[in-house]
Amino acid sequence: MRLIIITLAALVSGCFIANAQDTVKRSQKINSRLSATYYVQKANKKIKEGIYTEVTGQNTVVATGGYKNDKRIGKWHFFTTTGKPTQVFDYDSGQAVATYATTDKAMQCVLGTTPAPTDTVKTPVAIGGIGYFKTRIGLDFGVLKALSEGIYNDTHMELHHVVTINDQGVVIKHVLIIGGGINGAEYLIDDGNDRNTVPQFVPATVNNKPVLCRVAFTTSLDVTLQGSAGLPQPSSFSGAVPVKR
């Protein structure tokens, strides 16, 4: 696997080496699990240009591909957090050109409008695979805020998500639901980074026309509690906003 990743990185870098002198390297922490290394234009440091790579805290590559003028181009390769390939997605064609075996369960999809019985419906496809999407979503602040408010005080948490995807495949809303009944709470999660502009899905379609939809899924999290009060000590909760019921 190490040889495959090195070879892949070499192939990707070869596509952008001519522009290396016009770019500056940047690093960014995506969440507690992932960080990214990429390049921006010297003339405009808000514009990504060249190789982009995401890795785990153990330095395992989970995504690698290229940007041109701040847009993802060509084939991007995606992996699990243990380094197993999950998908090759071609941003030029807007299609997954290779999908590998996965144990991810399909996400429940609810369309914005009810289709007719004769309509042909296709559910959204997560770019990079469902596992990659779940790893990259911004959970940290919402989970810590709920814990600090005493809504959920167990070290093993079941987290319920409802994500709205527009007809461009962009995530426009992410609600995190923690707990249940009258003691439960909902939070609007700001996933940050480029999630609000970069498509994360091939959108759902009805009769080949892209449509808005919502997907629901569950993740779990094991939390190590710290401090005299038995709660984590977050530095900020700015990534989570309570939802009024």
CA distance 90 to 206: 22
Whether residues 61 and 136 fall in one domain? no
Whether residues 110 and 83 fall in one domain? no
Residue 170 has pLDDT above 60, yes or no: yes
The region of weakest confidence among 48-52, 102-106, 129-133, 148-152 is 148-152
Whether residues 41 and 87 fall in one domain? yes
Domain boundary among 101, 127, 153: 101
The region of weakest confidence among 33-42, 147-156, 195-204 is 147-156
pLDDT > 70: what percent of the chain?
64
The region of weakest confidence among 70-79, 183-192, 205-214 is 183-192
Whether residues 23 and 83 fall in one domain? yes
Domain boundary among 49, 78, 101: 101
Whether residues 45 and 109 fall in one domain? no
Whether residues 195 and 128 fall in one domain? yes
Number of structural domains, the chain? 2
CA distance 170 to 152: 30
Whether residues 94 and 109 fall in one domain? no
Domain range for 88 is 1-101
Whether residues 155 and 70 fall in one domain? no
For residue 198, which of 65, 82, 101, 27 has the smallest C-alpha distance? Answer: 65
Whether residues 47 and 156 fall in one domain? no
Residue where the block lists tokens 């409802």: 162
Domain boundary among 101, 136, 160: 101
Whether residues 150 and 93 fall in one domain? no
Q: Beta-strand (E) ranges in the chain?
A: 23-29, 34-41, 50-56, 61-68, 71-79, 85-90, 95-99, 108-111, 121-122, 125-126, 156-165, 171-178, 185-189, 201-202, 204-206, 209-211, 213-222, 240-242
